[in-house]
Amino acid sequence: MVTTGALAEAVPAPTAHVLGSLTFGIGFVFLTVGRSELFTENFLIPVAAVLSGHAAKRSVARLWVITFGLNLAGIALFVVLASIPGVLEPEALQAAGELADTLAERDLPAGAASAVLGGAVITVFTWLAEAAESDLTRLSSSPLPSASSCWPPA
């Protein structure tokens, strides 16, 4: 949001958004090199435990419900912090509002399909990164910004 908002002052909004979206990839490289992970990575490990008989379906459902609730709480906290005057530049808030409007205008099937595709990309990346033996290999498997992060210009 910050990058898109800053670039929107110098280049057309669609170009600013695409360039701003690329910063996600840069951040992902830092996560990869630092051997860190996103909140919901490795979500297939509990599924594999259920399929192998080492865990109950109920425990995976509980994990997912708790994670969903905490993700919603995290989003709410992020909104509260970003809403404090002076935290974000007005241009960043404008970019965030445009992105939120675009995502909110999606119908349920499109939003669900985007979420499933995004989750699949992250899951594949997680397994590739786990299998990689060097940082260079891990970096080469990093995903590019998803199609859902590059909304069409209005």
Which residue ranges make up each domain of the chain? Answer: 2-149
The per-residue pLDDT for 77 is 95
Reported confidence tier of residue 39, pLDDT bands at 50, 70, 90: low
Please report, in angstroms and rounded to a whole number, the separation of the first and last CA atoms in the chain.
17
What mean pLDDT value characterizes the chain? Answer: 77
Cα–Cα nearest to 104, from 72, 40, 151, 144? 151
CA distance 7 to 149: 16
Which H or E element spans position 73? Answer: helix 57-82
More confident: 26 or 139: 26
Convert the pLDDT of each residue in 115-152 to its tens digit: 888 777 777 777 776 776 666 665 666 655 444 444 44
The per-residue pLDDT for 69 is 92
CA distance 79 to 29: 25
Fold topology of 2-149 = Glycerol uptake facilitator protein (1.20.1080)
CA distance 97 to 64: 28
Q: Is 84 buried (19+), middle (13-18) or exposed (0-12) by CB count in 10 A?
A: exposed
Residue 28 above 90 pLDDT?
A: no
Reported confidence tier of residue 62, pLDDT bands at 50, 70, 90: very high
